[in-house]
Amino acid sequence: MKKLLALLLASIMVFALVACAGDTKDPAGDKGDDEKVANAADLLSDAFIDPVNDWAKYDELIAEIKAETDYAKRVELMHDAEDILMSNGAVIPLYYYNDVYMQKDYVDGIFANLFGYKFFYTTKMANGADTLRLNLASEPDFLDPALNSSVDGACLAVNSFAGLYTYDAEGKTVPDLATGYEVSEPDENGYVTYTVTLKEDLKWSDGSKLDATDFEYSWKRAASPVTASDYGYMFSNFVGYDKDGAIEVKALDATTLEFKLIAPCAYIEGLMAFPTFFPVPKAAVEANADWKTTPGGWCTEAGFISNGPFVCTDWKHDTSMTYEKNPNYHNADAVTIDKLEFMLSADDTAIYAAYNAGNVDFIDSVPTDEIASLLDNDEFKIVDNLGTYYVAFNVNSDLFKDKTAEEAACMRLAFNILIDRDYICENVGQTGQVAASSYIPLGMADGNGGVFKKDAEANSYYDALAKAEDPEACVEKAIEYLKAAGYKFEDGKLSDENPIVIDYLTNDGTGHVAAAESMQQDFAEIGIVINIVEVEWNTFLQERKNGNFDIAREGWLADFDDPINMLEMFTTESGNNDCQYGRYDGWDK
């Protein structure tokens, strides 16, 4: 029945995770009242810590990693951090990302990097058009680069703003507004000073002067808790960073920016190329009457000032956006397309219909049930990404309110064990996704000249294909974990006296929904009921951020090529800590 459903839903999203350790001899089911039930703590790894009350230990480990100057030791510590993260089951990796999109055969010059950014400024149109018509997603949540935390928003940011560094068509960091930088020797505290030289005669899109003072203002603003940037924690390796957001960065003159870090940073160019580190115009930001309480209010309508290849000239909310070439962009001569017209929609079917009708030239998603027919189509592109598609539990969900920390972890790990990742990859994703056996993706650099994980088998936390290869053993293992959490079973199903009914939060999109339905059937095998709750994109982002969910679909494309990016997002105060790790009443006081 499940295989039939997959053929109808065949999807673009792929999942992979879970492991069923150990051999089993008996079929899953009730073994009688005299069965010995395992102690929950005995089923967990030695790395386990209470993800609510003891999470400060994780925060301290991340801080230690960021201050570590011995890069080999740093790699070890990052493995320790992932051990902790994987031990509590709140993060359930499903598969390692790749990306699909479609572009007409007359479109050329678009390039993407491993982090999901798509650059449109070098687009060439063989049909003679001066406008690229495209779809990335629905209405963006934020256009302020300091506030955005979505991939579609990052794509808009890299096409309308410019930072000190950027990415070239080969995916390498290269200077953008900077000409280069120098790094000092560590001082008596181990601190290092970075000095960046900016290009001269830089301008904002309105023609006003842009210089190093704009970076000083913008970085301090992004780090400040008043701005409430989801990525404010990225400044935690700056000297002076604390809950007040104070960081040591200053403009020495118009073309010289100096900042001080607590230790040398292996991924500094990746930070300088990341949208949160892009400049924003102080005068425009603070001209908005509510700029202190609504920091992104300055760019919620067309005409806002930017400094990248394009500037937003028209915005019909929830319908379309138009960006036009910025004549004041410092590299305007390299911009080969005059205009970008965005269709704002998350409806895969409507987007695909618009593409087939010739109304758009580029789309960033297709309906799940169309993928199989498109695999041999030259207009259908599959590119590598560096990231992980996963499921997240809210560790403060009422689902766990009567459980110990260890019992709650066993519950979450039971869900992990039940997921058939191979099925999702083969029948939903269909584009060669790799089932995930850990959170940090394969191929990520380790910051010490090597690769953090060269292959899945050597760095796995479970057998990602176990459910497909031995489903009975996985079911029995999941039941063992749930029994340790206090649940009773009858004939291999949850007893009516202790049902599990959970809402699964997802945004719309045929791939996301098909993956959720696949897991829904996996969990139903032992009587767990999952209600799939679909909400529109911006509501989805806010509900996850606020912890208003039991379990939710998640995905994380790395922001730069270093494992710390995948680990520091789960610190207590991180704006991307959707799992609510470390958050209890009064945690932020």
- The angle formed by the CA atoms of residues 48, 398 and 417, to the nearest 5 degrees, is 50
Domain of residue 393 covers 2-20+54-97+384-570
The whole-number pLDDT of residue 35 equals: 74
Residues 6, 136: one domain?
Answer: no
The helix, strand and coil proportions of the chain, stated in percent and rounded to the nearest 5, come to 30, 20, 50
Determine contact, residues 84/49, Cβ cutoff 8 Å.
Answer: yes
Residues 76, 190: one domain?
Answer: no
Task: Give kind and range of the element (H or E) at residue 447.
Answer: none
Q: H helices within 161-290, ranges in order?
A: 212-223, 268-272, 282-287
Q: Per-residue DSSP letters for 96-142?
A: EEEEEEEE-TTEE--EE-TTS-EE-TT-EETTS-SEEEEE--SS-S-
In a domain, 369, yes or no: no
Domain boundary (296, 319, 344) is at 344
Strand partners, 389: 95, 555
Domain boundary (283, 316, 344) is at 344
419 CB burial (10 A radius; 0-12, 13-18, 19+): buried
Residues 81, 196: one domain?
Answer: no
* Identity of the residue numbered 447: G
Q: How far apart are CA 551 and CA 500, in angstroms?
A: 13
Q: How far apart are CA 234 and CA 75, in angstroms?
A: 19
End-to-end CA distance of the chain: 51
In a domain, 371, yes or no: no
In a domain, 421, yes or no: yes
Strand 91-103 relative to strand 256-261, pairing: unpaired
Report the C-alpha dihedral over residues 221, 222, 224, 230, rounded to 10 degrees: 150
Residues 182, 67: one domain?
Answer: no
The whole-number pLDDT of residue 29 equals: 41
The whole-number pLDDT of residue 585 equals: 86
Determine contact, residues 330/199, Cβ cutoff 8 Å.
Answer: yes
Total Cβ atoms within 10 A of residue 534: 14
Domain boundary (344, 360, 393) is at 344
Residues 213, 89: one domain?
Answer: no
In a domain, 361, yes or no: no
Determine contact, residues 95/85, Cβ cutoff 8 Å.
Answer: no
In a domain, 38, yes or no: no
The whole-number pLDDT of residue 454 equals: 82
Comparing CA positions, the residue from 393, 486, 390, 545 lying closest to residue 52 is 393
Residues 169, 84: one domain?
Answer: no
Chain centroid to CA 228 = 18
The whole-number pLDDT of residue 34 equals: 54
Residues 147, 242: one domain?
Answer: yes
Total Cβ atoms within 10 A of residue 493: 16
List Cα–Cα distances, 86 to 46, 49, 442, 583, in angstroms.
Answer: 11, 11, 16, 18
Residues 434, 561: one domain?
Answer: yes
Q: H helices within 264-376, ranges in order?
A: 268-272, 282-287, 348-356, 371-374
Residues 315, 446: one domain?
Answer: no
Q: How far apart are CA 13 and CA 23, in angstroms?
A: 31
Determine contact, residues 334/126, Cβ cutoff 8 Å.
Answer: no
Q: How far apart are CA 446 and CA 451, in angstroms?
A: 5
In a domain, 172, yes or no: yes
Q: Per-residue DSSP letters for 456-513?
A: TGGG-SS-TTHHHH-HHHHHHHHHHHHHHTT--EETTEE-TTS--EEEEEEES-HHHH
Comparing CA positions, the residue from 305, 388, 356 lying closest to residue 135 is 356
Local confidence pLDDT in tens for the 589 residues of the chain: 443 333 333 333 333 333 444 333 343 444 444 578 999 999 999 999 999 999 999 999 999 999 999 999 999 999 999 999 999 999 999 999 999 999 999 999 999 999 999 999 999 999 999 999 999 999 999 999 999 999 999 999 999 999 999 999 999 999 999 999 999 999 999 999 999 999 999 999 999 999 999 999 999 999 999 999 999 999 999 999 986 778 999 999 999 999 999 999 999 999 999 999 999 999 999 999 999 999 999 999 999 999 999 999 999 999 999 999 999 999 999 999 999 999 999 999 999 999 999 999 999 999 999 999 999 999 999 998 999 999 999 999 999 999 999 999 999 999 999 999 999 999 999 999 999 999 999 999 999 999 999 877 778 999 999 999 999 999 999 999 999 999 999 999 999 999 999 999 999 889 999 999 999 999 999 999 999 999 999 999 999 999 999 999 999 999 999 999 999 999 999 999 999 999 998 888 6
Residues 201, 65: one domain?
Answer: no
Residues 79, 158: one domain?
Answer: no
Residues 331, 247: one domain?
Answer: yes
In a domain, 460, yes or no: yes
CATH of the domain at 9: 3.10.105.10
Determine contact, residues 80/452, Cβ cutoff 8 Å.
Answer: no
Structurally, how many domains does the chain consist of?
2
In a domain, 283, yes or no: yes
CATH of the domain at 281: 3.40.190.10
Total Cβ atoms within 10 A of residue 35: 10
